[in-house]
């Protein structure tokens, strides 16, 4: 990026993508660059992941993560076995034949009130699991330093004992071993280090959105890198001008040599208009590469609340932005903006706004008493974008009284409109709206989403990997309070008969 440029340039090609009723064909369920279109694929509910009995009440679904090797990790901020809000993480293995429970992971020191599992990330290979414990105190309380060390936070890294996630159809043999404990190089009371984590396997990025670095709750982000078998602090991602209250590090995403950081509380054109900052890995380390704001910034839009990146495509959620076609949407219905990265000698790094995604079903029957929060969560895997709308209304749950279906939540799936299903340059089309079979008032399905992948089964007719989606809920249908849950969905194309048979009676 050229010296002196504080903002990344945008094109004004903002297109509101309005979906159509019904279910469209799903394209590109494989994750490879040459993923082919599959016009028969429709997504179906596979199973509900309930908290294991020994983890009740967990509040399962507050965080979800998935690998490209069939692993699923789901966390919650509760679990009162060892203390209120102690937290725990449950791991499953997803194959075509079954979704099987693998392991329960609790805090290695049984810290009370640490919120262990409130943030999760897993690398694509399924070998590194990052677990945030943002409410953990800096040192033991009996050292006499509490509350000066209150809720500084930590992150725990676990390594797969087998070194990989295991393929579809294999036994769930992977077990997790504590590998490293990450702490902030500049501890701060109430910083909540570990509120959000991201990893690509080689690096771990950790957000501390309430860190007072540069101002009250200005936020801080740190990068840790793996050197042989050790993890060490590599860099702080420093902005040119931190601002109090912007909560830099509320959301994160990493892809190779690019890290994007969301600050939805940033007040630009108004309180909570939000922004995203971009960092690029250069020869001399991580460098600030510029700032992204919404093409049409709005007060209270929360632009940057959620992020997802895949190579040169960046998706940014603004779950309280009012779409430009405001007459067709409730106020603050939510928008997801897509940007494409280009880099030239003359312009340097540039993220171009290519179009916007909006909800195909923003109304509950003829009314919507709450905005959907479309864009509260995001996940992207080349040919698929999953958008969580945790406040969405489900008419089935509502019955005759639409208010009873408020906040049940939904997830929307989008794919490129091009024939090959590999390029977002020409726009996107909504293909599915997924709601939980047990959708209920204030379940908040879609609070978190994660796209993963099941490996092909050796010796079967299935040659390409199959995508799956994990949907976490911020509330639960068995309240108050209950164990929470997460739901798993996958596309249902014309799978070979020997693959479908085991599911016949499920």
Write the secondary structure of 193-209 as one string of H (helix), E (strand) and C (coil). Answer: CCCEEEECCCEEEEEEC
Report how many domains make up the chain. 1
| Residue 163 CB burial class (10 angstroms; 0-12, 13-18, ≥19) | exposed
Give 215's contacts (C-beta < 8 A, 6+ positions apart). Answer: 242, 243, 244, 245
pLDDT on residue 172: 44
CA proximity to 271, closest of 234, 305, 297: 297
Give 173's contacts (C-beta < 8 A, 6+ positions apart). Answer: 162, 166
User: Does 6 fall in a domain?
Assistant: no
User: Does 5 fall in a domain?
Assistant: no
User: Does 8 fall in a domain?
Assistant: no
CATH number at residue 129: 2.130.10.130
Report the chain's C-alpha Rg in angstroms. 21
Please give the residue range of the domain that contains residue 68: 16-503
Taking residues 99-111, what's their average pLDDT? 85
CA proximity to 434, closest of 31, 38, 46, 11: 46
More confident residue, 134 or 454: 134
User: Does 331 fall in a domain?
Assistant: yes
Q: Which of 172-186, 413-427, 483-497 is predicted with the least confidence, judged by mean pLDDT? A: 483-497
Q: What SS3 class is residue 55?
A: helix
More confident residue, 463 or 370: 370
pLDDT on residue 498: 35
Q: pLDDT tens digits for 242-277? A: 899 999 999 999 998 999 999 999 998 888 999 999
User: Does 196 fall in a domain?
Assistant: yes
Q: How far apart are the C-alpha atoms of 304 and 263, rounded to whole Å?
A: 6
User: Does 58 fall in a domain?
Assistant: yes
More confident residue, 32 or 127: 127
CA proximity to 176, closest of 102, 111, 115: 102
pLDDT at residue 120 is higher than 60: yes
User: Does 1 fall in a domain?
Assistant: no
Whether this model's pTM surpasses 0.95: no
User: Does 7 fall in a domain?
Assistant: no
What mean pLDDT value characterizes the chain? Answer: 78
pLDDT at residue 6 is higher than 60: no
């Amino acid at each position: 990026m050229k010296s002196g440029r504080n903002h990344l340039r945008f094109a004004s090609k903002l297109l509101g993508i309005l979906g159509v009723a019904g279910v469209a064909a799903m394209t590109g369920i494989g994750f490879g660059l040459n993923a082919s279109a599959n016009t028969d694929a429709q997504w179906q509910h596979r199973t509900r992941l309930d908290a294991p009995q020994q983890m009740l009440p967990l509040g399962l679904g507050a965080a979800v993560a998935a690998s490209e090797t069939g692993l699923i990790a789901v966390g919650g901020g509760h679990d009162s076995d060892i203390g209120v809000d102690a937290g725990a993480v449950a791991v499953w293995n997803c194959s075509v034949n079954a979704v099987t429970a693998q392991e329960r992971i609790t805090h290695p020191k049984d810290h009370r009130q640490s919120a262990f599992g409130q943030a999760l990330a897993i690398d694509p290979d399924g070998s590194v699991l990052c677990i945030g414990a943002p409410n953990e105190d800096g040192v033991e309380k009996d050292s006499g330093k509490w509350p000066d060390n209150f809720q500084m936070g930590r992150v725990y890294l676990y390594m797969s004992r087998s070194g990989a996630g295991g393929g579809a159809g294999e036994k769930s043999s992977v077990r997790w071993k504590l590998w490293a404990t990450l702490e902030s190089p500049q501890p701060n009371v109430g910083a909540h280090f570990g509120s959000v984590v991201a990893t690509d396997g080689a690096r771990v990025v950790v957000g501390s959105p309430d860190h007072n670095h540069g101002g009250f709750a200005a936020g801080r982000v740190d990068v840790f890198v793996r050197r042989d078998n050790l993890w060490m602090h590599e860099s702080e991602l420093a902005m040119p001008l931190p601002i109090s209250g912007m909560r830099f590090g509320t959301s994160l995403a990493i892809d190779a040599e690019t890290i994007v950081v969301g600050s939805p509380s940033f007040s630009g054109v108004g309180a909570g208009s939000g922004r995203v900052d971009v960092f690029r890995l250069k020869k001399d380390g991580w460098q600030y590469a510029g700032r992204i704001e919404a093409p049409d910034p709005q007060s209270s839009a929360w632009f940057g609340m959620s992020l997802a990146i895949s190579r040169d495509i960046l998706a940014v959620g603004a779950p309280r932005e009012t779409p430009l076609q405001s007459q067709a949407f409730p106020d603050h219905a939510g928008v997801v903006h897509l940007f494409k990265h280009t880099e030239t000698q003359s312009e340097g790094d540039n993220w171009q706004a290519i179009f916007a995604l909006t909800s195909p079903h923003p109304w509950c029957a003829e009314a919507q008493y709450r905005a959907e929060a479309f864009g509260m969560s995001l996940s992207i895997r080349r040919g698929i974008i999953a958008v969580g709308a945790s406040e969405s209304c489900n008419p089935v749950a509502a019955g005759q009284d639409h208010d009873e279906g408020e906040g049940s939540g939904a997830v929307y799936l989008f794919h490129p409109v091009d024939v090959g299903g590999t390029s977002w340059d020409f726009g996107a089309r909504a293909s599915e709206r997924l709601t939980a079979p047990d959708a209920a008032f204030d379940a908040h399905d879609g609070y978190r989403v994660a796209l993963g992948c099941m490996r092909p089964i050796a010796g079967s007719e299935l040659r390409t990997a199959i995508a799956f989606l994990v949907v976490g809920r911020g509330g639960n249908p068995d309240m108050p309070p209950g164990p929470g849950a997460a739901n798993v969905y996958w596309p249902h194309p014309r799978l070979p008969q020997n693959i479908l048979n085991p599911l016949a009676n499920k």
